[in-house]
Amino acid sequence: MSDPVKLETAIGGAPIYRRDFIKADDRTLRLYGRTPHSEEPLHQSNDDIAQGGELRFHPLRGEWNVYAAHRQNRTFKPSAADDPLAPTKPDGPPTEIPFSDFECAVFDNKFAAFHRNAALPSALNGIDMEPAKGACEVVVYGPEASGSLHTIGCDRRQILLSAINDRYSSLFDAGCAYVLPFENRGDAVGVTLHHPHGQIYGFERVPLVAAREAEAFASGYSLEREIKECLGDYGLGVEGGIAAFVPRFARFPYEVWLAPVNRRAGPWECTAEELEGLAYWMGEITRLYDALFQGPAATMMGFHSAPNPALSSSDSHHFTVQFYPLLRGPGRVKYLAGVEQHSGVFTIDVMPETAVKALRELR
């Protein structure tokens, strides 16, 4: 167990600290907060941990997909008493966080699809295969069993962003080619743990979508120019140098992007003011969705940053946080059905012009 260290970047005008703790099963738990964490650990479990899956190349789609059969047995909608992301109680069962309190926690996923020690898979004739090396981490927003990116408050979101930036740095240093922080929210997305949390995946190779984004920016596409063009009619506002807008080319009804007005390759290049603006918008967009859809909105949110700057140029990449709601109206799920899955052509039922008007009316 290490002593707390102060992070270099302070968001919100006060320091943020990290404490590293090696769990009984050899996974690492990292605790982030405004106050240095010093509590002694409580009881822990010591289960066997799977070490990643395997990658297989799809020759017709040009993509690498991960196969991880052990994830079929991951925790599925536990009762409140068995919440694995809650703080451990002295008289309760062990959880993933063997302390009675914390502000924000990041730990290695027990059911990881990618792992630094993933083994070489058995060969299949004619199929390109590789070990699924990388990282899968769980990000717990706080000890509370319910809530959202909106209800946890701006200070907790600032701590969360500091943790994400810290994990970008560590995973890039560990050799990951691409890092994706993301959140799945709601039953329609397939969430099996309702304690407010996100995840971070570290990939050994740049995934197909991220590679195409990097190619577009390297070929001259300017998101700075697009933001200036669309902000008047499609924008929700600018806070701390971060623009919130409905893309004119959105694929999901009510899709929203957050992006620095001035190009940044990733959140690690953002100023403290921009990170504070990003923290504001992450909560505000969640609030708007819940108001629009009249309840907790099923949403997929992801950080689209440049690949590892040490491995490739990021001089043209423009960082975004993209929100994809899985609803097209209150109680109406936007299913990714036959056309989307088989052709890659999305059918959008709500025009971006209609979406931005509806979201603006809720501000």
Is the model's pLDDT at 1 over the cut of 80? no
The residue ranking higher by pLDDT, 46 or 237, is 237
Is the model's pLDDT at 75 over the cut of 90? no
Give the per-residue pLDDT at 165.
98
Question: 239: Cβ–Cβ under 8 A, 6 or more apart, which residues?
Answer: 277, 280, 281
pLDDT in tens, 286-323: 999 999 999 999 999 999 999 999 998 889 999 999 99
Task: Give the E-state strand segments of 35-133 in sequence order.
Answer: 54-58, 63-67, 104-108, 129-131
Q: How far apart are CA 10 and CA 223, in angstroms?
A: 27
Summarize the confidence of residues 117-135 as an average pLDDT. Answer: 96
Is the model's pLDDT at 10 over the cut of 80? no
Summarize the confidence of residues 60-86 as an average pLDDT. Answer: 91
pLDDT in tens, 14-63: 999 999 999 999 999 999 999 999 999 999 989 888 888 999 999 999 99
Give the per-residue pLDDT at 300.
98
Q: Domains along the chain?
A: 5-205 (3.30.428.10), 210-360 (3.30.428.10)
Q: How far apart are CA 276 and CA 259, in angstroms?
A: 13
The residue ranking higher by pLDDT, 141 or 314, is 141
The share of the chain scoring above pLDDT 90, in percent, equals: 90
pLDDT in tens, 342-357: 999 999 999 999 999 9
Dmax (CA) of the chain: 59
Give the per-residue pLDDT at 9.
76
Cα three-residue angle 60-117-174, rounded to 5 degrees = 90
Is the model's pLDDT at 229 over the cut of 70? yes
Is the model's pLDDT at 98 over the cut of 90? yes
Give the per-residue pLDDT at 247.
98
Task: Please report, for the chain, how many H helices and E strands are present, in that order.
Answer: 6, 17
Task: Give the E-state strand segments of 72-205 in sequence order.
Answer: 104-108, 129-131, 134-140, 178-185, 197-203
- Residue 212's Cβ-count burial label (10 Å; 0-12, 13-18, 19+) is exposed
129-131 sheet: strands from edge to edge: 63-67, 54-58, 129-131
